[in-house]
């Protein structure tokens, strides 16, 4: 399902963003494929809490992967490199959205939890899915 999302100011111009909803039964496969495509890419993780506001959990850290449990009761973000890793748990997720630019590049993933907390994983440099080969090692 694709729909018109909010607008974002980019280089002084307001542009419409397209958001794609990821159905719950597809989370595990989606995050497996997503992790494979973007392993090693620099991401920033923001947590928007209804009471505590916006906080940056990690800034420009390489993505190791994102994993959804079989029952979709939890989603785990794995960032960094071996020996210097960060793990961020998202409990009771209820919705997953992918923010897509007008050109079709995946720019961010948003996970909303039952308590209204949103965790947003943003790429430093978005790219069109067909141009992504994976990280250079």
- Average confidence (pLDDT) over 46-75: 94
CATH architecture of 18-128: Roll (2.30)
CA dihedral 89, 116, 30, 55 (to 10 degrees): -50
Q: What is the CA radius of gyration of the chain?
A: 14
**Residue 79 in contact with residue 62, Cβ under 8 Å?**
yes
Beta strands in the chain (DSSP E): 2-10, 13-22, 42-49, 53-68, 74-81, 84-91, 93-100, 106-113, 118-127
For the segment 69-121, what is each residue's pLDDT rounded down to a tens digit? Answer: 989 899 999 999 877 899 999 999 999 999 998 888 899 999 999 999 999 99
């Amino acid at each position: 399902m694709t729909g018109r999302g909010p607008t974002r100011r980019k280089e002084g111009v307001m542009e419409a963003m397209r958001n794609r909803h990821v159905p719950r039964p597809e989370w595990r496969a989606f995050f497996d494929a997503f992790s494979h495509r973007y392993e090693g890419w620099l991401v920033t993780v923001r947590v928007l809490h209804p009471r505590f506001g916006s906080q940056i959990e990690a800034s420009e850290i390489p993505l190791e992967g994102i994993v959804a449990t079989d029952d979709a009761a939890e989603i785990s973000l794995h960032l960094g490199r071996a020996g210097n890793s960060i793990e961020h748990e998202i409990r009771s997720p209820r919705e997953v959205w992918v923010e897509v630019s007008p050109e079709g590049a995946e720019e961010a993933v948003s996970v909303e939890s039952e308590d209204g907390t949103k965790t947003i994983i943003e790429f430093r440099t978005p790219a069109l899915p067909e141009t992504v080969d994976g990280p250079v090692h």
